[in-house]
A = this chain, B = another copy of it.
Amino acid sequence: MPGKTNGVGVQVEDAKICVVMVGLPARGKSYIAQIAQRYLQWLSIPAQTFNVGNYRRNDAPHPTADFFDFNNAEGERKRRAAAEAAVADMLKWFKTGGVVGILDATNSTKERRKWVHQVCEANGVEVLFVESKCDEEEVIMANVLDVKTTSPDYKGQDPEDAARDFRKRISQYEKVYKTIDGDGDESDYTYLKIMNIGKQVVINRIQDYLQSRIVYYLMNLHIRPRSVWLSRHGESLYNLDGRIGGDTMLSPRGQLYAKKLPELVRESVGDDRPLTVWTSTLKRTIATSRWLPQHHNQLQWKALDELDSGVCDGLTYQEIKDRYPEDFVARDEDKYNYRYPAGESYRDVVIRLEPIIMELERSEDILIVTHQAVLRCIYAYFMKKDQAKSPWMNVPLHTLIKLTPRAYGTEEIRYEANIPAVSTWRGKGSTAKHEAPTGDTM
């Protein structure tokens, strides 16, 4: 039997991995779970989070801290039942093709971890424990504040009461919490231990490629506040003609956008925040960035070049339909997977963007000036957009997009230059040179 690949160059074979979160409440476990799921899904790896709290809320929707007292037999029984239900659902999900299941819970005792490990092993699922250990009061406080305003456990309650109760809940867990014992009877486990948000990281017995991908990604995350700005190049000469690809210069209106961009950036970023500008290696993105202040470092990445349209490079959609009618139809049927002859698919673009995403996760403020398809892929990563839909998103020219990752999603603000430009959006089946976007934009 030939080996399987998920099509993005990731050899997943028949891997089934359960990522088991470990740690006290308010240590960022749900954030890690959420962001790992988003990253894997973006890479076309089926990933799903199973949050034990959600199962427990069926039985106990608004528990007080006493519920989490480990001497409270009733609470203990319900929490155990919730964990069992989550794990059972996860095992069912693996049977339907799931690859990485993330068990989001405290899993704070050795007994609980041993149980999860045994159940998974018995079902042919590898276990990767991911522990977040943190004693920096500032980080914990920020998480407590976040929980009191967003957790369904405290819905409708006074925020101060909620924070007080949540603190008490944490101290209930502290009584029984044991960190993963890497020198003792847990030394055979595969685990990643993240101390104080990455200051120290311990990696134990990582066995295969997919585990190491997850570990490397999580190692690179940071939680310092930052934003990512995205812009397409200014309108190009090919845009005017409705031609795709190429390496043409900016149109007069595109040049106006380049001159206006520093103002938009100043408005959004501010004057003294250090910003690094990434462009592709193509003339139109470099020209779009040329008026940005000299103190912003600029880097060119080949990986940010536009989707390679192969034999169709330089053609209009009408010409593509005339010369390659079957390709034209095939692309509209599955735009994400369709690869231009001698060119690329959106899926291919995602593979080559993966190192860019990794570098973005490590970085602080970055402005990326790139191309329609590439921008769609980067946007889809941050905004968790569906692969079937992202290639159809409308990304207008002459617009600066600011994305700010937060604990529970990514915030977006748009700045329009108010400089007219043609539309480069195209609906399914259309060969129009400049079609007005319909329905969902992004």
Min distance, Cβ A290 to any Cβ of chain B, angstroms: 11
Find out whether the CB atom of B212 lies under 8 angstroms from the CB atom of A205.
no
Find out whether the CB atom of A201 lies under 8 angstroms from the CB atom of B200.
no
Find out whether the CB atom of B212 lies under 8 angstroms from the CB atom of A3.
no
Stretch of A65-73, A121-129, A298-306, A367-375 that contacts chain B:
A298-306
Which residues does chain B contribute within 8 Å of A302, judged by CB atoms? Answer: 9, 344, 348, 351
Min distance, Cβ A383 to any Cβ of chain B, angstroms: 24
Min distance, Cβ A220 to any Cβ of chain B, angstroms: 7
Which residues does chain B contribute within 8 Å of A220, judged by CB atoms? Answer: 212
Which residues does chain B contribute within 8 Å of A247, judged by CB atoms? Answer: 341-342
Q: Which of A290-330 contact B (CB under 8 A)?
A: 294, 297-303, 308, 313
Q: Which of B5, B199, B303 contacts A205 (CB 8 A)?
A: B199
Min distance, Cβ A405 to any Cβ of chain B, angstroms: 18
Min distance, Cβ A217 to any Cβ of chain B, angstroms: 11
Known pairs A1-B294, A351-B302; A200 contacts B205 (CB<8 A):
yes
Find out whether the CB atom of A300 lies under 8 angstroms from the CB atom of B5.
yes
Find out whether the CB atom of A203 lies under 8 angstroms from the CB atom of B201.
yes
Which residues does chain B contribute within 8 Å of A298, judged by CB atoms? Answer: 2-3
Q: Which of B9, B219, B297, B308 contacts A303 (CB 8 A)?
A: B9
Q: Which of A177-230 contact B (CB under 8 A)?
A: 182, 198-206, 209, 212, 216, 219-220
Q: Name, among A9, A294, A303, A348, the residue most crowded by chain B CB atoms within 10 Å (CB to CB).
A: A9
A219–B342 CA distance with the chains assembled, in angstroms = 35
Find out whether the CB atom of B199 lies under 8 angstroms from the CB atom of A200.
no
Q: Name, among A3, A209, A308, A313, the residue most crowded by chain B CB atoms within 10 Å (CB to CB).
A: A3
A359 within 8 A of B: yes
Find out whether the CB atom of B202 lies under 8 angstroms from the CB atom of A3.
no
A209–B366 CA distance with the chains assembled, in angstroms = 15
Find out whether the CB atom of A299 lies under 8 angstroms from the CB atom of B11.
yes
A300–B348 CA distance with the chains assembled, in angstroms = 12
A355 within 8 A of B: yes
Find out whether the CB atom of A303 lies under 8 angstroms from the CB atom of B351.
yes
Find out whether the CB atom of A212 lies under 8 angstroms from the CB atom of B203.
no
A420–B219 CA distance with the chains assembled, in angstroms = 51
Which residues does chain B contribute within 8 Å of A313, judged by CB atoms? Answer: 342
Known pairs A9-B303, A359-B11; A202 contacts B205 (CB<8 A):
no
A202–B203 CA distance with the chains assembled, in angstroms = 6
A300–B212 CA distance with the chains assembled, in angstroms = 21
| Chain B residue at minimum C-beta to C-beta distance from A183 | B200
A202–B182 CA distance with the chains assembled, in angstroms = 11
A352 within 8 A of B: yes
Which residues does chain B contribute within 8 Å of A198, judged by CB atoms? Answer: 206
Min distance, Cβ A429 to any Cβ of chain B, angstroms: 27
Further contacts, 19 of them, CB under 8 A, given A2-B294, A247-B341: A2-B297, A3-B297, A3-B299, A5-B300, A9-B355, A199-B205, A200-B202, A201-B202, A201-B203, A201-B204, A203-B203, A206-B219, A209-B359, A212-B219, A212-B220, A216-B216, A303-B351, A313-B342, A355-B355
- 14 A–B contacts from the bound complex (CB under 8 Å): A1-B294, A1-B297, A9-B355, A199-B205, A200-B203, A200-B205, A201-B203, A202-B203, A212-B220, A212-B362, A246-B342, A302-B344, A313-B342, A352-B352
